[in-house]
Amino acid sequence: MKQFLLLIAFALTIGVTNAQYSVLLVNDNSISSTEFVTIDTALAHAGVTYASFNIDTVAPTFNDMDAYDMVIWYTGSDGVGLFLWDETDTVTGPKFNPALLDYLNADGVVWVDGLDYLYDVFGSAPVDFNAGDFVYDVMGIEKYVAQSHLDDSLGTYNGCPMYLKTAANTITTLDTIQWKWSSVYYADALDITASANSLYEMGPAAYDFAGKVSALYNYNVISSGIRMASIGDGSQKVQADLDLLVSDMLTAAAAGTFAPAPTPPTSSYSVLLVDDNGTSSTESATIATALTNAGYVNSTFMIDSVAPSFDDLKAYDMVIWYTGSDGVNLYLWDETDTVNGVKFNSALQQFVDSAGVVWVDGLDFLYDIYGSAPKDFVAGDFVYDVMGIEKYVAQSHADDTLGTYNGCEMMLKTANNTFNTLDTIQWKWSSVYYADALDITSEATALYEMGPADYDFAGKVSALYRYNVITSSIRMASIGDGTQKVQADLDLLVGSMVAAAENGSFPAPPPVGIKNYIEINSSVNIYPNPATDYVTISFTAINKLADIKVYDITGKQLINKTVDANVGSFRMNLSELNRGIYFVQVAIGNTTTTKKLSLVK
């Protein structure tokens, strides 16, 4: 049990600063209850909000840590009974204690520094780690190679005289680390994983373990065997050097350098986020986060002066074209067609025609080409035929009567919206300006409408879809609770819409020739749908043959088979077909049934 000569078991010392970034310094060094004070001083000099937690018999809880952006867990020279570890997991090996692990998994940044924290749980070096081990996967350490002094050949050097900044270290400006002694004992020499980044390595060149890593980071975990409270010039402490190291690391942390590991995609369905918002180059980042949080493969295309080509788009299943609050010279449109009027740019239109799902979101994308509302559309107009918009009725705020409401305060899920679980959309402001109020065509389906009930344009559609084109005037990157952004609500909206797309809910329009396909109850069923490589086609038992044909969205026949419908079912191999939308036509006697099939390989 650790004992400190403290009058208070949990000493919590608050640093008063003006900065928003916050740090909890945890002292897990039972050998000294005061050594960490120089780190405390460095935090004060760095201008961050900070507190210090001196462990006596109980480590900080998750709630103690959760209020801070970073936790520095300092072990000094202690290597016995550290509160840092939980050694009960026989699968991953030693890992951080449950509270610290919860903090890490909540996207907190953890910096572990000291000597012997690996020795505490693994004993003497060397020890190899493998994928599946916590130390490998989370800390980024592949091998605990040696300890200075203990494993030295006792030649020229006894202990490690210095650490040298690595070529990969673009974070700190302190090129050489020394201590208040001529060398440091029991510092860990490490090999690191491919995902980790080195910060410092042992030196000089002639030292036994020269080039072995002594400080690194792996996503939001920083591991250093520095014993930084004792940084000096080889004979005494130098607070200025410690200040420089700590300040640089905190600056990098505040800038997001130590971001958590990205969530591995759980689906192969892929989305390209196109940022066509000339008013902000960063606003769309929350949408990218929502896609990642939902487990989808995604990339972002930031438009500078050139829009993505069809080759850029066709590698993805879905394109989200985000215009934000921009309503001037959007790359979304092609205004050269004098017959059908304005339409999507040629690359995006080609993507739509090839059955790709397109979701256009933002404010003012109609204003960009039509100016102020109102504007009617008729059959033959692209906006009517493809986007499903019959009338651009008004814009919030611009066309409000300025009575009870100034701007649209909310958008409400419609009765026909079976995709989304987010019932009410709000923003980081109390209301949204310049959202489009729309009337839609009979082929379109409303997803959200303006509210509340007494708002000027209550009931007017603000989000809809027609086949594989989704249109919303939400400005979804700014979804919130009326005062601030709420990422969880954006995650819910984006995740449910992309899931619906993946499940085939937004198919391309049926091609000419099989347009009047039947989706009502019939004697034919196809399952699973969506499918991967095989589908089963079941029939009501009748003494007739069944002609089965499979078409792509252009109407090209790909498969033609005749089977005995009396057998009850037929398993069809579709492994040669690519991911996409197809139409399966089954003719039995004088009855022909055509059903839509989605392949989601």
Chain segment 382-394, per-residue pLDDT in tens: 999 999 999 999 9
List, for residues 300-325, the tens digit of each pLDDT value. 999 999 999 999 999 999 999 999 99
pLDDT tens for 539-577 read 765 677 888 999 887 778 899 998 887 777 889 999 999
Q: Is the dihedral of CA 86, 88, 92, 93 positive or negative?
A: positive
Neighbours of 246 (CB within 10 A): 26
Give the pLDDT confidence of 150-202 residue by residue, as tens digits: 999 877 889 999 999 999 999 999 999 999 999 999 999 999 999 999 999 99
DSSP 117: T
- Nearest of 257, 261, 224 to residue 69 by alpha carbon: 257
Spatial separation of the C-alpha atoms in residues 328 and 351, rounded to whole Å = 23
Q: Which of 3-17, 340-354, 404-418 has the lowest mean pLDDT?
A: 3-17
Q: Which residues contact 578 (CB under 8 A, 6 or more apart)?
A: 599, 601
Q: What is the pLDDT of residues 49-92, one digit of tens each?
A: 999 999 989 999 999 999 999 999 999 999 999 999 999 988 88
pLDDT higher than threshold 50 for residue 3: no
Q: Is 433 helix (H, G, I), strand (E, B) or coil?
A: coil
Q: Residues 27, 54: contact at Cβ < 8 Å?
A: yes
What's the whole-number average pLDDT of the chain? Answer: 90
Domains of the chain: 12-143+216-254 (3.40.50), 267-502 (3.40.50.880), 524-599 (2.60.40.3080)
Rounded CA separation 522/540 (Å): 9
Using the CB atoms, write b or e for 58-93: b if 16+ within 10 Å: ebbebebbeebbbbbbbbbbbbeebbbbbeeeeeeb
Which DSSP helix (H) or strand (E) runs through 143?
A: strand 141-147
The token duo for 96 is 């951080």
CB 524 within 8 A of CB 588: yes
CA 304 to chain centre: 23
Query: Residue 513's pLDDT is what?
Result: 52
Query: How far is 500 from 149, CA to CA, in rounded Å?
Result: 61
Map 117-164 to HEC letters.
CCHHHHCCCCEECCCCCHHHHCCCEEEEEEECCCCCCCCCCCCECEEE
pLDDT tens string 90-107: 888 999 999 999 999 999
pLDDT for res 154? 73
CA distances (Å), 493 to each of 350, 368, 489, in order? 26, 25, 6
Q: In the 8-state DSSP scheme, what is residue 308?
A: P
For the segment 112-140, the average pLDDT, to the nearest whole number, is 97
End-to-end CA distance of the chain: 56
Residue 498 is predicted with a pLDDT of 97
Q: Which helix (H) or strand (E) holds 203?
A: strand 197-203
> Checking DSSP bridges between strand 534-539 and strand 49-54, what pairing results, if any?
unpaired
pLDDT of residue 195: 93
Tell me the average pLDDT across 257-281.
89
Pairwise CA distance, residues 236 & 238, whole Å:
7
* pLDDT for res 507: 85
- The residue whose two tokens read 């014993």 is 227
